[in-house]
């Protein structure tokens, strides 16, 4: 499905669906409707919260996607981590603690 920038009213100014596709390709992902929902949800959340913290983002995503299985479901959609990988796809700053330099994505 083709996504337009108008579908992402809370996107950062320097972000585009094409950029997300490039990042996904580098990470070995093919973006589906599930990925776009996560991207949109993260952008919407970041637009509302001035300084998002890891735990807050995790809890918000878990609640938003509860009907599909919450954070466990999101780890299946974005294996690089729903928060670390999701923020990267959405053009957002990854909250502190989401990535452990010696281990990789933890959230």
pLDDT at position 74 is 95
**pTM for this structure?**
0.86
The Cα 91–Cα 81 span in angstroms is 15
pLDDT in tens, 52-98: 999 999 999 999 999 999 999 999 999 988 999 999 999 999 887 77
The Cα 94–Cα 32 span in angstroms is 21
Phi/psi at 104 (5° precision):
115, -155
pLDDT at position 11 over 90: yes
pLDDT in tens, 32-45: 999 999 999 999 99
């Amino acid at each position: 499905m083709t996504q337009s920038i108008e579908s992402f009213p809370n996107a950062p100014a320097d972000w585009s669906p094409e950029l997300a596709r490039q990042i996904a390709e580098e990470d070995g992902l093919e973006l589906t409707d599930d990925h776009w929902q996560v991207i949109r949800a993260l952008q919407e959340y970041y637009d509302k919260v001035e300084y998002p913290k890891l735990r807050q983002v995790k809890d918000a995503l878990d609640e938003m996607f509860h009907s599909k299985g919450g954070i466990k479901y999101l780890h299946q959609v974005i294996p690089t981590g729903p928060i670390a990988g999701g923020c990267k796809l959405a053009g957002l700053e990854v909250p502190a603690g989401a990535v452990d330099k010696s281990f990789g994505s933890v959230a």
